[in-house]
Chain A
Amino acid sequence: QQPVQSPQAVILREGEDAVINCSSSKALYSVHWYRQKHGEAPVFLMILLKGGEQKGHDKISASFNEKKQQSSLYLTASQLSYSGTYFCGTEMNTGFQKLVFGTGTRLLVSP
């Protein structure tokens, strides 16, 4: 039931791009993306509802492929502040926002 994220970890140089994937074996209603820095609370990035829409702000965007039950987070021109662990949280039932979080992807952006 727990969504699987890939890759597990990635190291980037500042300015490089990255893609983080989140795959579920269950039909999803929505996918929520969070970034968590060590010792801090998860910080909300964006939410995608079923329908295959793509969202983005600044240099971070995401897509949701309803047919594949997969979401991808795109980080372009990465900045040092992007370092942290990225989690996808998946919601399977409408009106019942119990998020099941993925396994996490650790991202390190170096100068």
Chain B
Amino acid sequence: GAGVSQTPSNKVTEKGKYVELRCDPISGHTALYWYRQSLGQGPEFLIYFQGTGAADDSGLPNDRFFAVRPEGSVSTLKIQRTERGDSAVYLCASSPGVTETQYFGPGTRLLVL
């Protein structure tokens, strides 16, 4: 079956612009996670969805970051007024349920100029 997919694979934007990053989880996976990975670092947790609701958004760095999963499948991570420090690879992962294996997508490489 298909794995986790993310679009776009690369995004270049200017400081202050708004961006949306999309994640398509593995079909049937109820849990969805967003992570951010900077160069040379491990993934850093941002937000976790169980179904449609955000079960834990404690990793979102500030109120410029927001994520939704309206139908319990596809999720969108939204970043307002982007800053150069937002440049990173944004990874999405999904799992069949809680405390199960998380399968990662290829990531979206965001570059804020």
**Partner-B contacts on A (CB < 8 A):** 2, 29-30, 32, 34, 40-44, 47, 49, 87, 89, 91, 94-104
Nearest-CB residue, chain B, relative to A29: B99
How many A-B contacts if CB must be within 8 Å?
Answer: 65
- B28: CB under 8 A from chain A? no
Which 8 A-B pairs rank lowest in CB-CB distance, beginning with the nearest? A101-B42, A41-B104, A87-B42, A42-B104, A41-B106, A101-B43, A95-B98, A98-B45
Chain B binding surface SS class: loop
B48 engages A98 (CB within 8 Å) = yes
B interface size (C-beta, 8 A)? 27
Instruction: Name the residue on A nearest B59 (C-beta).
Output: A98
What is the 8 Å Cβ interface bit string for chain B, positions 39-68, against chain A (1 contact, 0 not)?
A: 011111100100000011011000000000
